Amino acid sequence: MNKNTTSTNAPSHLVYVVTGEGESATWTQVAAAWKHRDNDGLNVIIPPGIMISGKLVVRAAKTAS
């Protein structure tokens, strides 16, 4: 494992493409991200075949209850 990544398999953040603005915006999850151990960066993994253009938003992942 890279020394900059954490040892957990669960992503710390999710990545979305956001189209539109405000209440009418559409958020589509396109990737996941994992924090570096030093908290100074993220590794973003985009699945094969995903074509991305537009505004990307990275949000902290919420754990399932």
**pLDDT at residue 1 greater than cutoff 70:** no
Buried b / exposed e across 45-54, counting CB within 10 Å, b at 16+?
eeeeeeeeee
pLDDT of residue 42: 95
Cα 47–Cα 48–Cα 53 angle in degrees, nearest 5: 80
Domain map of the chain by residue range? Answer: 13-59
Confidence label for 5 from pLDDT (cuts 50, 70 and 90): low
**pLDDT at residue 50 greater than cutoff 60:** yes
Q: Summarize pLDDT for 7-41 with one digit per residue, the tens.
A: 558 999 999 999 999 999 999 999 999 999 999 99
